[in-house]
Amino acid sequence: MRCHYACGSVEHLVSRRRFLGDVAAGFGAAAGLSSFTAPAIAAELDRKQRQVLVIFLYGGASQLETWDPKPKTDTGGPFRSIETSVAGVRISELMPRTARQMHRLAVVRSLNTHEDDHGKGQYLMNTGRRQAPGTVYPHLGSAMARYLGDAGNPLPGYVRIQIGGGGRGSSEAAYLGPRYNPLYLGGGGLPANTAADPALSSAGAAGREALRMHVNDRFAHRRRTAETEAYTTTFDQAQQLMARRDAFDVSREPARDVDRYGTFDFGRHCLLARRLLRAGVTFVQVNHFNYDTHNENFEFHLQQVGEFDQGFAALIEDLAVAGQLQHTLVAVVSEFGRTPKINYLYGRDHWSRAWSICLAGAGIKPGVVLGKTNARGTEVVDAEVGAGAVFHTCFRAVGLDPTESFEADGRAIQLADPTGKAIAEVLA
């Protein structure tokens, strides 16, 4: 649904709803899987496995109403800054809960990504690369599922949660292959077509499965091909997913946690992200929309950032208390920021020259604020970094070498943009 205050770009004219379709056909997207464990052995997994959580604020969240406020200036807007749990570090008063978690976070206030278009900015901050003719690069989630995941597990290695949910990614994995595309979730429902047929008894289901395996084995004995092997693997994974579908059932979470995270969509989605990370999913991305505030920027950020603050702070605290944050990389990003100049509609427009992101968890030094913008927030004056540096940093934080290459169509493609390098100041 288009927001009336948003720009007229294609990204805001199309529906966000995507459909899952047939899970057996679609689950080939989820073969790069991290190990699913019962709660009794989750602690052992926590000590060994690196995971990633990305919160993407779609539309272009304002750095001035979040991580880099400029109160009492002509660009600062009506909101104040507040103290945080790190002495000397202040953020927007719209994030009081996040302020209490600042000692667990690192903020980079000096991004200059040189891209003010929604589609290109989203591509850049999902892949770490600029769009180029004839080349499609994998999303961060696909790369993390490929290099961190365990192919023996039925849970998807890459899950994206957003309003409407539905569907599965078809091109996010690019040359890594369709098995590393994401599964999309949202709306509070479980993955479609994963429930057992209520009209079929357990004995009947077992008999049908035995017959399928017998016929399949006979066929494979004489006419085994890559296609038949892929189908068999996909079918088996889909069956295993059906046995683990409770991992996606956020209704099993305690009512007190629902209240802490917020009863709105983003709060429920953050709670689902916690559940999936505890189950062992390698990469979870939660999308929060409606930050494209060309009109009434302050009114809409008051609502949007309020939702973000409640769900995000609760999730960070829970990951930290459970000991998961030490092995879970967290990143809060957008496609760009908003203009320091306030337009005649009391809005802010697209601005990539000086904006902020937040990092936390595995491999990240907590309590750090890197970079600086000038007094009015119009340009970076210290420690400027680009999108490529963010992705180098993310790979380093989880123990991957971003300079390693993947062979695709006979050519070596480096894991992260060769022109970038990691942000050493935020790495532990």
In 225-363, which ranges are continuous DSSP H helix?
226-243, 255-261, 265-279, 297-321
CA distances from 120 to 131, 336, 418 (A): 7, 10, 19
State the Cα–Cα distance between residues 232 and 163, nearest whole angstrom.
32
Q: Is the pLDDT of residue 245 over 70?
A: yes
pTM: 0.85
For tokens 């192919």, the residue is 151
Compute the average pLDDT of residues 98-120. Answer: 98
SS3 358: strand
Percent of the chain having pLDDT more than 90? Answer: 65
Handedness of CA 50, 424, 146, 276 (dihedral sign): positive
Task: Choose the CATH number for 10-426 among 3.40.720, 3.30.70, 3.40.50, 1.10.150.
Answer: 3.40.720
pLDDT tens digits, one per residue of 272-310: 999 999 999 999 999 999 999 999 999 999 999 999 999
Kindly list the domain boundaries of the chain, sorted by start residue.
Answer: 10-426
Mean confidence (pLDDT) of the chain: 85
Phi-psi group of 21: left, alpha or beta (phi > 0 → left; psi -120 to 50 → alpha; rest → beta)? left
| Residue 85, token pair as written in the block | 């749990």
Residue of 140, 111, 109, 113 whose CA lies nearest to 127: 140
Using a 10 angstrom Cβ sphere, with 0-12 exposed, 13-18 middle and 19 or more buried, the burial of residue 124 is buried
State the Cα–Cα distance between residues 352 and 350, nearest whole angstrom.
7
The whole-number pLDDT of residue 36 equals: 31
Residue 326: HSE in the Cβ half-sphere, 13 Å Cα cutoff: 8
| Residue 327, token pair as written in the block | 């092995």
State the Cα–Cα distance between residues 144 and 156, nearest whole angstrom.
12
Compute the average pLDDT of residues 383-404. Answer: 97
Cβ atoms < 10 Å from Cβ of 171: 11
Q: Are 340 and 350 in contact (CB under 8 A)?
A: no
Residues 6+ apart with CB under 8 A from 250: 188, 268, 271, 272, 275
When pLDDT is cut at 50, 70 and 90, the band that residue 21 belongs to is very low
pLDDT tens digits, one per residue of 131-187: 988 889 999 999 999 999 987 778 889 999 999 876 556 789 999 988 899 989 986
State the Cα–Cα distance between residues 64 and 8, nearest whole angstrom.
23
Residue of 372, 368, 289, 284 whose CA lies nearest to 330: 284
* Rg of the chain taking only CA atoms, in angstroms: 22
State the Cα–Cα distance between residues 193 and 276, nearest whole angstrom.
19
